[in-house]
Structure 1
Amino acid sequence: MDSAFSDQEKAALSEFRVAIADLIETFDDYEAHNENLIRWLRAKELNVQEAEAMIRHSMKWRDENDFKRFRDLPVSDYYLEKLPFRPSGYDKEGALVIIIPVIKWEMSLLTKSEHHAELTTYIFHIMDKLYHYLKATSTPEKIRTKVVLIIDIEGFSLQELLSKHVIDFFVELLKLYEAHSPERMKAVYVINISSFFSVFWPVIKPFIQTRTLSKVHIVGGGPEYWKPAILTGIDPRELPSEYGGTNSAHPAAYSNDKGETWPARAAVMSPGKFVTAVIPARDKFVTGFDLNVGNRISWNFKTEFYDIGFSFMLNDVPMFPSVRADGHVFVQDGCVDIVEAGTYSLVFDNTYSMFRSKTVHYAIEIEDKVEPEE
């Protein structure tokens, strides 16, 4: 990996390692890897003395806040409901992709002073979870240190954006990130922006360091603009269907029962397994199955020329966000291990189309018993 560093960075790394040798003795191989150490140097423009002061201050801060206690603790279910996030996958260079659905963030309520300590603890906990996602999926050959954020602000109100509590929270969050997770952020995509954002952005922008600011991509317009922007660096298989990807069985948010384990994914099925359905305008096509605990159901589907609404239901209740999937662009897939017996249905929804029928090609596989993964 050293070949990715400039000669100046290699020299600074050598000096930095000597300066913090006592800290490195306490680090594991992941923490002590050059890919992690270089972050502190780049944050300080390769100034070894400033980088040393920064990392020592951060290590002290982590000890004072007892970061180790988070490792085996579940995240607060209350705050996960109020401030959800979605680990999605990895970009083409191995950075962890996180989706923040801001419309679901109850910011005005939670950023008031009486919630401040609990909210700060929640943010610390999430920072620790992201760190362990990266560490758990790293190998000696490929060290993951970066995160890509997709911040979806659709529906976020002007009242929320301009609340003093909300602004103070975002400013504090930025300061925490830049002080204790330097150069962790690879890119930020802000999508589904409204006219309100032009009021909020100038307020918070001065608090963002120039180096971080250069990684922020504000993508105006509808999905036809922001989906291609996201997909330039992220393979569609690493994104939920509603964000231009192919995963139609993506959990709506992080949950403690999933932890650091990615849900199973369906394989790409052979063309001979597909059957065809033509769905008239303003109509749905439903195919259902009675499944038992231990079954695994997998599906692929694609459309001709146009998108299609899609839901996967348990007893008529959606298990994942219902989406308008770009089946005409990428083959969509889904996979669910059944933990509750019931009637499961795949619903192809064309009710939003006033005049146009849709042709769907789909394949479904059901395995009788799936052994739990070790």
Structure 2
Amino acid sequence: PLLTARTLAKVQVYGGNMDQWRSALLKNIHPDQLPSQYGGSNTSVQNYKISQGYDIQAEHEIFPHEEMLREEVPPGQKHTHCFFISRGSQISWNFRSLDYDIGFALTFENTEKPGRDAQVILECARADAHLHVQKGTLISQESGNYSIIFDNSFSRFRSKTIFYAIRACCASSEETLKIL
């Protein structure tokens, strides 16, 4: 035989049924550690292409549901939330959606050098935010305008309801700001 019975007992093979293999992964891996494309809630893993120089933290704060804002993103549209953050500040976000996935991206625009295109920190990737709350934390490398983008441009007919909260912890003080 190619594999011994002992080795074969350690192997599980799943077909194309996404629900089966996702639930099997979640039995062994905590959702915070598993990328959202595999059914987890980690938006800081490599399925999100991260620009060099940015520090995406592995541990993320969980915000109470009461702090989350509700937003309806129409089909084919994006919802962008822009805010100014100083260098060294920590930005944290949580979001979830009802019933369907949503695209998520993070960009930066240097206010000291206006006219330049926004730099993409996290490229847009569809997140299974309807399965788990998506969480992320970033340490800003430069002062400027940061934008969190919820992207529903891939959907032609369905609007998406999202709930989100964003916080910034200023580098120069212990002050934490809720970004609304």
TM-score relative to the length of structure 1:
0.38
Q: 1:314 aligns with which of 108, 113, 131?
A: 108
CA shift for structure 1 position 294: 1.0
1:323 corresponds in structure 2 to 125
Give the whole-Å Cα distance in 2 for the aligned partners of 1:295 and 1:238.
24
Q: 2:143 aligns with which of 330, 341, 358?
A: 341
The structure with the largest alpha-carbon Rg is: 1
Give the whole-Å Cα distance in 2 for the aligned partners of 1:347 and 1:293.
20
Change (3 A) 1:263 1:221: same
Change (3 A) 1:327 1:295: same
Deviation per CA, 1:281-308, whole angstroms, max 9, x where unpaired?
0111111223222100001111112221
1:306 counterpart SS class: coil
Q: 2:43 aligns with which of 248, 263, 273?
A: 248
**Could you tell me which amino acid in structure 1 is paired with residue 44 of structure 2?**
A
2:86 corresponds in structure 1 to 292
Report the RMSD for the aligned CA atoms in angstroms: 2.9
Change (3 A) 1:212 1:344: farther
1:247 counterpart SS class: coil
Question: Larger % of strand: which?
Answer: 2
Change (3 A) 1:333 1:214: same
Give the whole-Å Cα distance in 2 for the aligned partners of 1:236 and 1:353.
25
Contact 2:57 2:136 in 1 (8 A): no
Contact 2:80 2:150 in 1 (8 A): yes
Q: Greater RCO between the two (CA within 8 Å, min separation 6)?
A: 2
Give the whole-Å Cα distance in 2 for the aligned partners of 1:283 and 1:332.
20
Contact 1:249 1:312 in 2 (8 A): no
CA shift for structure 1 position 334: 0.7
Change (3 A) 1:351 1:299: same
CA shift for structure 1 position 341: 3.3
CA shift for structure 1 position 223: 3.4
Displaced runs of 4 or more, over 6 A: none
Q: Does the alignment pair 1:224 with 2:55?
A: no
| Percent of matched pairs sharing the same residue | 36
**Could you tell me which amino acid in structure 2 is paired with residue 284 of structure 1?**
K
Give the whole-Å Cα distance in 1 for the aligned partners of 2:11 and 2:25.
12
Deviation per CA, 1:325-350, whole angstroms, max 9, x where unpaired?
22222111111111233432211111
Change (3 A) 1:244 1:318: farther
Matches for 1:1-374 after TM superposition, within 5 Å: 206=2, 211-221=6-16, 223-251=18-46, 263-315=57-109, 316-320=118-122, 322-369=124-171
Give the whole-Å Cα distance in 2 for the aligned partners of 1:362 and 1:218.
36
Give the whole-Å Cα distance in 2 for the aligned partners of 1:339 and 1:272.
30
Give the whole-Å Cα distance in 1 for the aligned partners of 2:92 and 2:77.
24
Question: Larger % of helix: which?
Answer: 1
CA shift for structure 1 position 240: 1.9
1:219 counterpart SS class: coil
CA shift for structure 1 position 314: 3.1
Change (3 A) 1:274 1:216: same
CA shift for structure 1 position 248: 1.2
**Could you tell me which amino acid in structure 1 is paired with residue 133 of structure 2?**
V
CA shift for structure 1 position 235: 1.6
Gaps of 5+ in 2: 110-117, 174-180
1:226 counterpart SS class: helix
Change (3 A) 1:216 1:318: farther
Give the whole-Å Cα distance in 2 for the aligned partners of 1:341 and 1:211.
56
CA shift for structure 1 position 318: 3.8
Contact 1:302 1:327 in 2 (8 A): yes
**Could you tell me which amino acid in structure 2 is paired with residue 239 of structure 1?**
L
Give the whole-Å Cα distance in 1 for the aligned partners of 2:138 and 2:4.
42
Give the whole-Å Cα distance in 2 for the aligned partners of 1:238 and 1:280.
30
